[in-house]
Structure 1
Amino acid sequence: MNPGDFHSLVAEFSSISLDQMDSVSFLTRTDTKYIMNNDRLMDVIREIQKDYYILEIDGTREFSYNSNYVDTAGFGMYFDHHNKRKNRYKCRLRVYENSGLTFWEIKHKTNRNLTIKKRIKINPEGSSEEDIQAFVRKHSPFHFNNLEPKLNSRFTRMTFVNKNMTERVTVDRNLSWQNNSREIHLEGLAIVEVKNESKASLAEIFPVLHKYGIRPGSFSKYTFGCAFLYTDLKQNLLKQKINVLTKYCHATSSKCIDHA
């Protein structure tokens, strides 16, 4: 992918503001994820240009995210995801770097395959630990004092909204993870996620993805970050997908960089 061509293509989209997008900011939703390389991403974006807006804030269309994930000492949340357990959780401190906003966020994947996201804003002057403890206790089965930092995840995101205002499509690129001893970068990879209230309302982007033979698949930044950074963890069910991710990186003459 030529970065100049990519940004020129993104610039052709009509924009939508954050306030206008609020009506499709689903906190309870169905998520469908797709993994592709950047070359295929360009094909998809080119085809949806007439039917989607792109989020723009202060002239910016691709935003930086910085997430610090916590888990139990025994990686309970990781293993719930690895073992495909229902009613699983992720807990993170997320910084929206372009706006400076910071939230503690909890994502809950239910038995009905719905994703419920709860969050509490962290004030610049600091939020009380009691408030954070109460938030975690209310929205998860965990106690905040039993959670510890596991990894940092960074990526950039573009958000597209269909012109019927019924769905959002996020595109995450430039993924990296780090802990105290390692740093991993996946270049040339894109994670596309379609978010709507129900699969009954089929997303407009689905036929485009089908046209290019792109099939849905699961991807958790936290789970794969743990697998990359903590190689002694059990990851039998992830090995095939890790090989796929590596293939996508190499398919674009990019790199899977490990700063061990």
Structure 2
Amino acid sequence: MNPGLSFPTGLGLEQLRGATLAEVDAAAALQHRIDRKYLVPLGHARRLLARLADSHHVLDLGGRRTTSYLSTYFDTPELGAWRAHIQKRRRRWKVRTRLYAEDGLCRVEVKTKDGRGATVKHALTVPATAYGSLTDHAARFVDRVLDRAGVPVTAGELTAAAEVRYVRAALADLGHGSRVTLDGALTCHRDDRTAALDPEHVLVETKGGTRPAPADRLLLGMGARPLSLSKYVVGQSLLTPGLPDNDVRHLARTHFTTGPDAAPLPLPFERIRVA
């Protein structure tokens, strides 16, 4: 990689036309979608954006083209969500609170899979101070969504299991309704340990229909291949002692390093520690 490149400055986001959040949501909200993930060198990500500049807009929030994300994931004591993913069960699920740090916006999100393998996401906006916890209102929301998806888990069984932080740039094809996100500076936290993605790599996700989007075809042309890679599952696989060996851990060990937890990020409220 060119040593002068870094995320996100090395992506070349300035070459894309900007779009407001309302424009992106109107064209490509995609709460029901097919997700494809690719782990690529930063230089490949830059070339991808250059090829998408004619068709895609980048989310621009008053001149800011990236957002810092913090996500606390909830799981059962037996790590039911983690195991469902590792075992490739049909009814996979995730529950998290997500904080958009610069905007002070927080949501409770529940992701499930439908009968065709597509991701279905439901979200509830909550106060920023609720980040890292499930209030009574949020718990009722989680219970409704999981029950409708046929997932035999309730919010009362869940506790905070891990935290994931990263910086995201979001692109949208406003004409065709597909999206591309690029995540860097990715770290996973549990107790006092951290797993960090190699800074020379970017996690690219395409979000669209059953047919591959233009971004997928471009990535395939660069030699990238879709991966089953969940940020939460990676974090648990690397940071939780005693878990069975698995393919995710083998992949993650080639791109992630582990070590003591970094200093807490400055937030407008006390940071939630994940135990």
TM-score (ref. length: structure 2): 0.84
The answer to whether residue 199 in structure 2 is matched with residue 193 in structure 1 is no
In structure 1, what is the Cα distance between the partners aligned to 2:103 and 2:213?
29
Q: Which residue is 2:143 aligned to?
A: 137
Aligned match of 1:83 in 80, 87, 90? Answer: 87
The answer to whether residue 28 in structure 2 is matched with residue 18 in structure 1 is no
In structure 2, what is the Cα distance between the partners aligned to 1:110 and 1:89?
10
In structure 1, what is the Cα distance between the partners aligned to 2:139 and 2:249?
35
Shift of 1:124: 5.0
Q: Which residue is 2:270 aligned to?
A: none
**1:137-176 counterparts in 2 under 5 A?**
137-140=143-146, 141-176=152-187
| Conservation of the 8 A alpha-carbon contact between 2:15 and 2:50 | no
Structure 1: 5+ residue stretches without partners: 247-255
Q: Deviations over 1:83-118 (max 9, x none)?
A: 111111001111011211111111102331110111
In structure 1, what is the Cα distance between the partners aligned to 2:134 and 2:173?
39
**1:93-242 counterparts in 2 under 5 A?**
93-123=97-127, 129-140=135-146, 141-186=152-197, 187-196=199-208, 198-200=209-211, 202-242=212-252
- Return the letter of the residue paired with 1:136: V
Shift of 1:51: 1.9
- Return the letter of the residue paired with 1:19: A
In structure 2, what is the Cα distance between the partners aligned to 1:5 and 1:245?
16
Q: Which residue is 2:5 aligned to?
A: 3
| Conservation of the 8 A alpha-carbon contact between 1:174 and 1:188 | no
Q: Which residue is 1:251 aligned to?
A: none
Shift of 1:28: 0.8
Equivalent position SS for 1:224 = helix
Taking a change above 3 Å as real, the CA distance of residues 5 and 258 of structure 1, as seen in their structure-2 partners, is closer
| Conservation of the 8 A alpha-carbon contact between 1:82 and 1:235 | no
Shift of 1:236: 2.1
- Return the letter of the residue paired with 1:130: D
Q: Deviations over 1:37-67 (max 9, x none)?
A: 2122122222222221100001110110000
Shift of 1:163: 4.5
Q: Which residue is 1:64 aligned to?
A: 68
Q: Deviations over 1:133-184 (max 9, x none)?
A: 2111111132212111111100011111125242010111110011222122
Q: Deviations over 1:181-225 (max 9, x none)?
A: 2122212221111111x223x412123112211111111011001
Taking a change above 3 Å as real, the CA distance of residues 128 and 84 of structure 1, as seen in their structure-2 partners, is closer
Equivalent position SS for 1:209 = helix
In structure 2, what is the Cα distance between the partners aligned to 1:193 and 1:139?
24
| Conservation of the 8 A alpha-carbon contact between 1:66 and 1:153 | yes
In structure 1, what is the Cα distance between the partners aligned to 2:218 and 2:237?
31
Shift of 1:231: 3.5
In structure 1, what is the Cα distance between the partners aligned to 2:124 and 2:49?
33
In structure 2, what is the Cα distance between the partners aligned to 1:241 and 1:55?
30
In structure 2, what is the Cα distance between the partners aligned to 1:128 and 1:213?
41
32-41 vs 93-102, greater mean Cα deviation: 32-41
Percent identical pairs in the alignment equals: 25
In structure 2, what is the Cα distance between the partners aligned to 1:97 and 1:65?
6
Question: How many residues are matched?
Answer: 249
Q: Which residue is 1:54 aligned to?
A: 58
| Conservation of the 8 A alpha-carbon contact between 1:183 and 1:259 | yes
